[in-house]
Chains A and B, each alone.
Chain A
Amino acid sequence: MEGSNMNDMSQIDQGVAVDTLKMRARGVDVYYGDNHAIKEVDVDIADKTVTAFIGPSGCGKSTFLRVLNRMNDTIDICRVEGDVTLEGEDIYDPKVDPVQLRAKVGMVFQKPNPFPKSIFDNVAYGPRIHGLAQNKADLENIVEKSLRRAALWDEVKDRLTAPGTGLSGGQQQRLCIARAVATSPEVLLMDEPCSALDPIATAQVEELIDELRSRFSVVIVTHSMQQAARVSQKTAFFHLGNLVEFDDTDTIFTNPSDPRTESYITGRIG
């Protein structure tokens, strides 16, 4: 029922604003062996918007996020079906090198995973392998800007050569965000980026997300309704591998069309 609904909506969307559509997923199914984790999901990720994925634990939010940059390829038993495009190009086309895709669609993981290298090297890694900096000064510039974006610069500017793994959990997560931002992706996928952060750092990251929106689209998985309401313009509600509802954030939170959405955001299922 939602499926047809979605299709209608996207057709209208396409008609009015083709250029604002960044990524588009149609009829996506994901299997882990026999486990059907994602069922016929259609989602449109608009450019320069924040899209939030919400839903109870185990409903497939992380799985669907990984569909968008083909990180599922690294899981042997995982099988993805359906069409996913980035600016009209099928990202699952055999000609596509996932490495190139991931440079455009960056990712921040649920658990902070800095490299066991210096803070500087962590942030500089992406620009280095993609040749984004012309010289050393350029690279330092990128690192500083990225760390500032991630609200980490003031805390680490005096110890850029210290190991990234020596930071606190929240600082590590912001380091990972800085690292992802440094490669200038077009889409940034964030899997519960704030689950390890205190309210102040969370507010800083939310500010960052809002700022990032001016340059690229952000997809964020979150367990916090307030966070979804604060940072996102679009919200997708997943339940048991189904996309139950996908709409403007305001609509989802004030006037959801599906009873399951309503019970979830009011705290009755999950």
Chain B
Amino acid sequence: MTDMPISTAPKRSLYAQDARTKKRNRAETRFRVYGMAAVITGIIALIVLLTSILGNGLSAFQQTYISYPITLSEDRLDPEGNRDPAEMAAVTTFGYLPVIAMSLQQHLEAEGIDPGMGGRELAAMLSEEAPAQIRAMVLANPELVGTTIDAEILVGGRIDGFFKGRVTMESAERDRNVSPAQLVLAQQLAELGMMETRFNWDFITWPDASGSRPEAAGLGVAIIGSFYMMLVVLALALPIGVAASIYLEEFAPKNRLTDLIEVNISNLAAVPSIVFGILGLAVFINFMNFNQSSPLVGGLVLTLMTLPTIIIATRASLRAVPPSIRQAALGLGASKMQSIFHHVLPLAMPGILTGTIIGLAQALGETAPLLLIGMVAFVREYPDFLSTHSNTFPLMGDGATALPVQVYSWTQRSDPAFVERASGAIIVLLVFLLMMNLIAILLRRRFERRW
């Protein structure tokens, strides 16, 4: 019986592929092609996205300045002549505008340059922010009044756009805000070295500016707001999320109630973020009377939104720890807590960190719920989040704005220069996300090295 062959098929050579093998190989090749096509599509989409954003936004980190001597005449800026900053503050930016405009005109005359336009048109080349720049400089140092300073001030958004290729002679013909003559003069000044487009940090550090001066709009307030909100999210969502996951995964009895909780958490992760905004509005602002658009309220709303992500990731990584590790610890007489905190949690840490950072990244880029809690306000000054003036808790007083909200509000403005600003803000947002992912990877490495 044992020496009888199982089948009596004719002997086949190994060199010839039979039909089944051929079919299998063809299927495998097809599958590889599909996979490759999917990956390539993804890469192309990414490249298109990045080139579009970088192409539009990189110029936001550059700004055009004009430098020339400005004579700060005493009778305009300090009529009393006592250099008292309090009294000098009475002179508004409108008082400074003629000063810098006159100085420009005089300087061009002295240099023998014919502007080819009137004084009003010449002054319109400067940024509306320029008088404010000089005013701040003077108020900080009243002794400057009466002297001539070599100042570097912003030029208007259209002139700036000309050097960045956004504004051309043809478009200037049709534009009420800029004339070809201004562009010709700008070109001339740039060749003389008076006007220069260069990198600067102001885009990162300055607060937002009004719709008519895109060249002065910065991300500083939005970055600070986002930073404080991330702190709130991290401080609340990580401990709450991890504690909830450990309880649900390791301690909670498996019954109807915990099943229900589990289903609900999974569903919460899929709830549109705007719903969390409505919840935040109802609970934190209408019911608890927190200051609307304060970073604490924003952080709380984002925490609500991030918690399900963190809980799901943490539970998955806890579940991935082999049960033999728990048994080993329990078998040695470790308590449940000890087995979890000494053995299970360190092994689950990389997964928990990844989940947390994904959650944070999601929160960092979230706009809708923040709009709902009123974080659309135009924040012109750096808010003083940490002070407790008017008896509020830190982070609960002044209103904040956040990076994605800033992107949103800039895209709403009419001046095309804000497209550049918005793209620049997106670049900053992406850089932050990359940095967070980098931190995640580094932390994972650190924890994984301990096996």
Contacts and interface: CB of A to CB of B under 8 A. Distances in A.
A129 B330 CA distance: 11
Nearest to A108: B331
Given A109-B324, A115-B325, A116-B347, A125 B332 contact: yes
22 contacts: A71-B330, A101-B333, A102-B330, A102-B331, A103-B332, A103-B333, A106-B333, A109-B328, A109-B331, A113-B322, A113-B324, A115-B325, A115-B328, A116-B325, A117-B451, A125-B334, A126-B332, A129-B332, A130-B333, A163-B451, A165-B451, A183-B332
Interface string A104-120: 10111101011111000
Interface in A61-117: 69, 71, 74, 76, 99-104, 106-109, 111, 113-117
B52 interface: no
B22 interface: no
B342 to A, nearest CB: 7
A107 to B, nearest CB: 4
Contacts of B322: 113
A180 interface: yes
Contact of A107 (B331, B334, B343): B331
A179 interface: yes
Nearest to B451: A116
A126 B338 CA distance: 11
Given A126-B333, A129-B342, 15 more contacts: A71-B327, A99-B333, A102-B331, A106-B332, A106-B333, A113-B328, A115-B329, A116-B451, A125-B334, A125-B342, A126-B332, A129-B332, A129-B338, A180-B331, A183-B333
A107 B331 CA distance: 6
Dominant secondary structure of chain B at its interface with chain A? helix
B254 interface: yes
B331 A106 contact: yes
B335 interface: yes
A176 interface: yes
A74 B331 CA distance: 11
Contacts of A180: 331-332
B164 interface: no
Interface string B179-222: 00000000000000000000000000000000000000000000
Contacts of A103: 332-333
Given A76-B254, A115-B343, A117-B451, A129 B333 contact: yes
Interface string B430-446: 00000000000000000
Contacts of A76: 254
Contacts of A117: 450-451
A111 B324 contact: yes
Contact of A74 (B254, B327, B343, B450): B327
Interface residues of B, number: 20
B326 interface: yes
A100 B334 CA distance: 9
A183 B332 CA distance: 7
Interface string B115-157: 0000000000000000000000000000000000000000000
Contacts of A71: 327, 330-331
Interface in B304-354: 322, 324-335, 338, 342-343, 347
Contact of A102 (B324, B332, B342): B332
B38 to A, nearest CB: 35
Given A100-B333, A130-B333, A179-B332, A109 B327 contact: yes
Contacts of B328: 109, 113-115, 176, 179
**Residue with the greatest number of chain A CB neighbours at <10 A, chosen from B325, B333, B450:** B333
A165 to B, nearest CB: 6
Contact of A99 (B324, B326, B335): B335
Contacts of A69: 331
Contacts of B329: 115, 125
Nearest to B343: A115
A180 B327 CA distance: 12
Contacts of A106: 331-333
A234 B366 CA distance: 69
Which 6 pairs across A and B sit closest by C-beta, in order of nearness?
A103-B333, A116-B451, A113-B324, A107-B331, A102-B333, A113-B328
A106 B332 CA distance: 6
Contacts of A114: 328
Contacts of B451: 116-117, 163, 165
Given A115-B343, A163-B451, A74 B326 contact: yes
B319 to A, nearest CB: 14
Nearest to B324: A113
Nearest to A76: B254
A165 B347 CA distance: 13
Contacts of B450: 116-117
B246 to A, nearest CB: 16
A81 B338 CA distance: 28
Nearest to B333: A103
A125 B335 CA distance: 12
Contacts of B324: 109, 111, 113
Interface string B77-109: 000000000000000000000000000000000
Contacts of B330: 71, 74, 99, 102
A83 to B, nearest CB: 22
Nearest to A111: B324
Contacts of B331: 69, 71, 102, 106-109, 180
